[in-house]
């Protein structure tokens, strides 16, 4: 007598089995993302030398943060605007906020930074923009923290021009968010924002 074997079918269709498979796939995906990030950082650390290696590893968390941003559900990225209390940002400090799934850098610039950026010869820039075109108040710079090369997250208060440094491929931006060196083709984007007393409303024009 021939008997049909039904146990495997029941097992494969069971909720417990599906849960195990889904968890396994999720763990594999997280591992692949981590391996990819580490491979990029190691490759460019070798290229830029020992000093560059330290900067690249310092930016590892920022790169991972960008991966998380890209994986967020659409409804989590849909906030129309956020408010930033300027009292929380001392002079000379840059703080990072999340707006519509992207990091936004709010920099409280020093008098020296303001003077330096205003004095830049615009004709020498790859993406010519005067500092006055990129800020509404000289002491405050607001830019989207996504490198215009391949979308990595730059490190604030770093690089050769005192602004931002992208750890992925070595783009340097000044304290106005303008690209000054490296492969990035454009300046960091400036989001729509307005001032309301001592608050910046990002996402409001």
Phi and psi angles of residue 135, each rounded to the nearest 5 degrees, phi first: -135, 155
Phi and psi angles of residue 149, each rounded to the nearest 5 degrees, phi first: -85, -70
Cα distances (angstroms) measured from residue 200 to each of 58, 104, 115: 28, 12, 22
Question: Per-residue DSSP letters for 21-34?
Answer: HHHHHHHHHHHHHH
Task: Given the residues 108, 127, 169, 172, select the one marked as catalytic.
Answer: 169
Angle made by CA atoms 135, 137, 143, in degrees to the nearest 5: 35
Q: Where are the alpha helices (DSSP H) in the chain?
A: 7-13, 15-58, 60-71, 111-118, 131-134
Whether 136 contacts 195, CB under 8 Å: yes
CB atoms within 10 A of CB 80: 10
Whether 149 contacts 166, CB under 8 Å: yes
Whole-angstrom distance, CA of residue 155 vs CA of residue 146: 10
Q: Which of 66, 43, 187 has the alpha carbon at shortest distance from 129?
A: 187
169 belongs to the catalytic site? yes
Catalytic residues: 169
């Amino acid at each position: 007598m021939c008997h049909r074997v039904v146990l495997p079918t029941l097992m494969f269709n069971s909720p417990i089995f599906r849960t195990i498979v889904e968890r396994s796939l999720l763990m594999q995906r997280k591992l692949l993302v981590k391996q990819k990030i580490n491979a990029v950082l190691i490759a460019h650390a070798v290229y830029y030398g020992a000093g560059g290696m330290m900067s690249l590893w310092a930016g590892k968390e920022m790169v991972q943060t960008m991966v998380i941003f890209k994986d967020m559900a659409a409804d989590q990225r849909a906030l129309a605007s956020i408010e930033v209390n300027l009292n929380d940002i001392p002079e000379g400090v840059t703080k990072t906020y999340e707006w519509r799934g992207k990091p936004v850098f709010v920099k409280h610039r020093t008098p020296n930074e303001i003077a330096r950026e205003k004095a830049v010869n615009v004709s020498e820039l790859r993406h010519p923009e005067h500092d006055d075109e990129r800020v509404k108040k000289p002491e405050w710079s607001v830019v989207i923290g996504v490198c215009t090369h391949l979308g990595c997250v730059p490190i604030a208060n770093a690089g050769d021009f005192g602004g931002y440094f992208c750890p992925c491929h070595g783009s340097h931006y000044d304290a106005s968010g303008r690209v000054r060196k490296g492969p990035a083709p454009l300046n960091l984007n400036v989001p729509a924002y307005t001032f309301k007393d001592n608050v910046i409303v990002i996402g409001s024009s």
